[in-house]
Chains A and B, each alone.
Chain A
Amino acid sequence: MNLDFTQIVPYIPFMIEGIWVTLQFVIVSILVGFLIGTVLALFKIGSIKPLKWFADAYTSIFRGTPLILQLMIIYFAIPQLTAYDISPFLSAVMAFGLNSSAYVSEIIRAGIQAVDRGQTEAAHALGIPYRQMMIDIILPQALKNILPALMNEFITLTKESAIVSTIGYLDLMRRSQVVGAELFRNFEPLLFVGVLYWSMVMILTLIGRWVERRLNVGD
């Protein structure tokens, strides 16, 4: 055993900067994933058949292939096909956003469908129009089912974001490898960014619990 954490001290600011770089594209990806996922979920529960087929096919493709493959296809294939030199950041946001939306759409669909059918019937019987029923009656109740699973998806996305190190995006993971290569010591930088990832996930978990408690009024 020859562990020496003092050697990574000069590189700590460089690695900590990676938190922001990682968060930047994770946050954008979550937003993209949530927006597209919501639209896909509405397609899935709606009555327009072609939209439903599209959403189901989309989900099947993005859940049925490895994320790293999707990332590589976007990063390497877009320049080949269109001569547009896509940046690692944009590739990462596209791959993670599109991939996440497939999972998010399933979470939202299941959350909406888990709301008691009687709620819809009661709203119909009172003459409440569809849009208002969705916004004021169904979605607030669905959110309680959705939120824990959605938080899980965000946590997964934060951790899986390390995959972007494979296309040279200088995120937290990539930075630990850069430091490891420079020092010829890998354990210390890897352990260090491991703690950083864990801290980020813990903060997300705590935020999730807090929001969940706020939503549980009335139970």
Chain B
Amino acid sequence: MLVIKVQKLSKMFGDNQVLKDISVEIKAGEVVSIIGPSGSGKSTFLRCINLLEKPTEGKIFVAGQDLTAPKTNVTKAREKIGMVFQHFHLFPHLTVLDNLTYAPIKVKQLKKADAEDKGRKLLERVGLADKEKAYPNSLSGGQKQRVAIARALAMEPDLMLFDEPTSALDPEMVKEVLDVMKDLAHTGMTMLVVTHEMGFAREVADQVLFLDEGRLIETGEPNAFFDKPTSERAQDFLAKIL
């Protein structure tokens, strides 16, 4: 079953074309790593999937619904698309548990007790059961990111978008976040991950998308891509970072 279908997506910022004619299909349960040099448009591509950026041209279907159609209720559609940001963006004035339960209660009209039960289970899953009463600013970067993942999961999304989830972390905290993401991948969650963690991309991803200068240059199964990239630009890129 297809979860995401992107057709001829282009995005302009003023005169600057950041995405050019990208078409991709992603199946349910797939983990897709999006890699490429900085400025290649990979974050913008990801942000188009939940319409944080409005595509200039092209269509985006998520779970069969055309998000780019004018009559689509974007706010409603976003409930089913979880997103994790590089800089966490937790709500600093709410406790960890309230961060997890706010949207389920206010948006999905869940009962407070049910939302809290679910929130606690999620905190346990990301290894932060003891932090439910803490405020985000008292947590380390790795802990914040795990809370952010739990917050997105609390909405029970069909797919999860990760925008460089480990890029703002101290090196010793990268693993704890990647471990949570690996667990999540094993549960069959559909995941799109913009990342510089090539080890993660190779080990966990089912598909790699390589972007450069706003174009989708190469797609493939990770082992094949990392061992023998076909395009010259991917070869150059990998030579620089590996």
A182 at the interface (CB under 8 A from B): no
CA of A125 to CA of B83 in the docked complex: distance in angstroms? Answer: 6
CA of A49 to CA of B83 in the docked complex: distance in angstroms? Answer: 31
B237 at the interface (CB under 8 A from A): no
B216 at the interface (CB under 8 A from A): no
Task: Tell me whether A218 and B83 are in contact (CB under 8 A).
Answer: no
Most buried by B among A121, A125, A140, A219: A125
Task: Please tell me which stretch of A64-72, A128-136, A170-178 contacts chain B, meaning at least 4 of its Cβ atoms lie within 8 angstroms of it.
Answer: A128-136
Least distance between A203 CB and chain B CB atoms (Å): 28
Which of chain A's residues have a CB closer than 8 A to the CB of B89?
116, 118-119, 121-122
Task: Please tell me which stretch of B31-39, B102-110, B193-201, B205-213 contacts chain A, meaning at least 4 of its Cβ atoms lie within 8 angstroms of it.
Answer: B102-110
A28 at the interface (CB under 8 A from B): no
14 of the cross-chain contacts (CB-CB < 8 Å) are A118-B85, A118-B87, A119-B89, A119-B91, A126-B103, A126-B155, A127-B76, A128-B102, A128-B103, A129-B75, A132-B107, A136-B106, A137-B91, A217-B135
Task: Tell me whether B81 and A219 are in contact (CB under 8 A).
Answer: no
B93 at the interface (CB under 8 A from A): yes
- Known contacts A125-B50, A137-B91; 5 additional CB pairs below 8 A are A121-B85, A126-B103, A128-B106, A132-B107, A218-B92
Task: Tell me whether A125 and B93 are in contact (CB under 8 A).
Answer: no
In the complex, residue of chain B having the shortest beta-carbon distance to the beta carbon of A132:
B106
CA of A129 to CA of B76 in the docked complex: distance in angstroms? Answer: 9
Interface string of B134-161 (1 = CB under 8 A from A): 0111000000000000011001000000
Task: Tell me whether B107 and A125 are in contact (CB under 8 A).
Answer: no
In the complex, residue of chain A having the shortest beta-carbon distance to the beta carbon of B90:
A122
Residues of chain A at the chain B interface (Cβ within 8 Å): 116, 118-119, 121-122, 124-129, 132, 136-137, 140-141, 217-219
Task: Tell me whether B93 and A141 are in contact (CB under 8 A).
Answer: yes
Q: Is the interface of A mostly helix, strand, loop or mixed?
A: helix
Which of chain A's residues have a CB closer than 8 A to the CB of B152?
125-126
Which of chain B's residues have a CB closer than 8 A to the CB of A121?
52, 85, 89
Which of chain B's residues have a CB closer than 8 A to the CB of A219?
92, 135, 137
Least distance between A32 CB and chain B CB atoms (Å): 29
Which of chain B's residues have a CB closer than 8 A to the CB of A129?
75, 107
The 10 closest A-B pairs by CB, nearest first: A127-B79, A122-B89, A118-B89, A125-B83, A218-B135, A126-B103, A127-B78, A140-B93, A127-B107, A218-B93
CA of A124 to CA of B85 in the docked complex: distance in angstroms? Answer: 12
Which of chain B's residues have a CB closer than 8 A to the CB of A132?
106-107
In the complex, residue of chain A having the shortest beta-carbon distance to the beta carbon of B86:
A118
In the complex, residue of chain A having the shortest beta-carbon distance to the beta carbon of B83:
A125
Interface hits, B179-222 → A, CB 8 Å: none
Task: Tell me whether A124 and B78 are in contact (CB under 8 A).
Answer: yes
B165 at the interface (CB under 8 A from A): no
CA of A27 to CA of B135 in the docked complex: distance in angstroms? Answer: 36
Which of chain B's residues have a CB closer than 8 A to the CB of A125?
50, 52, 78, 81-83, 85, 152
Which of chain A's residues have a CB closer than 8 A to the CB of B75?
124, 127-129
CA of A136 to CA of B93 in the docked complex: distance in angstroms? Answer: 10
Which of chain A's residues have a CB closer than 8 A to the CB of B94?
218
Which of chain A's residues have a CB closer than 8 A to the CB of B151?
126
Least distance between A29 CB and chain B CB atoms (Å): 30
Which of chain B's residues have a CB closer than 8 A to the CB of A127?
75-79, 103, 107, 155
CA of A119 to CA of B94 in the docked complex: distance in angstroms? Answer: 12
Which of chain A's residues have a CB closer than 8 A to the CB of B93?
140-141, 217-218
CA of A142 to CA of B114 in the docked complex: distance in angstroms? Answer: 30
Least distance between A132 CB and chain B CB atoms (Å): 6
